[in-house]
């Protein structure tokens, strides 16, 4: 795509990159129509590769094996793990946010967002009109 605003900036068509573990493109948090594919020799190596980055926003696993899905949920170091679904982040009813160097540590969306944007203040009011002493037994 060219012309207009595309001539003044950087634009890339949806692209799939075949990459190897450790390449720069596999270690950066890219928000765009980009997918880096890395071949792994099995589940263990795939998790090792996925966790060997400084970011951890989201992950996805596609499997028909529920045990593998639960292992991935536990093993993948991300704020959200999708099972048999893409990592689109459009689930506003779920807490959304990353771990490691992704985001600010807070969870946006869902009921967690209420806590994130709420400052709790405790208040005790004594209407008796007299000074109360602590409830300490002598």
Position 28 pLDDT exceeds 70? yes
Over residues 31-76, the pLDDT tens digits come to 788 888 999 999 999 999 999 999 888 889 999 999 999 999 999 9
CATH for 40-116 (3.40.309.10, 2.60.40.10, 1.10.10.10, 3.40.50.720): 3.40.309.10
Distances (CA, A) of 119 to 94, 95, 107, 108, 114: 21, 18, 15, 15, 10
Residue with tokens 């992950």: 59
**Residues 14, 30 contacting (CB under 8 angstroms):** no
The residue-averaged pLDDT of 3-17 equals: 79
**Per-domain residue ranges for the chain?**
40-116
Distances (CA, A) of 66 to 51, 62, 128: 21, 10, 60
Over residues 71-106, the pLDDT tens digits come to 999 999 988 899 998 877 667 667 677 777 776 666
Rounded Cα gap, residues 53 and 49, in angstroms: 8
Query: pLDDT at position 138, please?
Result: 63
């Amino acid at each position: 795509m060219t012309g207009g605003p595309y001539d003044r900036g950087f634009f890339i068509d949806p692209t799939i990159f075949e990459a190897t573990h450790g390449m720069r493109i596999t270690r950066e948090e890219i928000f765009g129509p980009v997918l880096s594919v890395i071949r792994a020799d099995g589940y263990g190596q795939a998790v090792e590769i996925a966790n060997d980055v400084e970011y951890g926003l989201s992950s996805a696993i596609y499997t028909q094996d529920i045990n593998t899905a639960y292992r991935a949920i536990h093993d993948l170091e991300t704020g959200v793990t999708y099972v048999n679904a893409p990592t689109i982040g459009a689930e506003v009813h779920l807490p959304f946010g990353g771990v490691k160097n992704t985001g600010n540590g807070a969870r946006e969306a869902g009921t967690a967002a209420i806590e994130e944007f709420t400052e709790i203040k405790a208040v005790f009011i004594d209407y008796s009109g007299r000074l109360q002493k602590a409830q300490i037994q002598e």
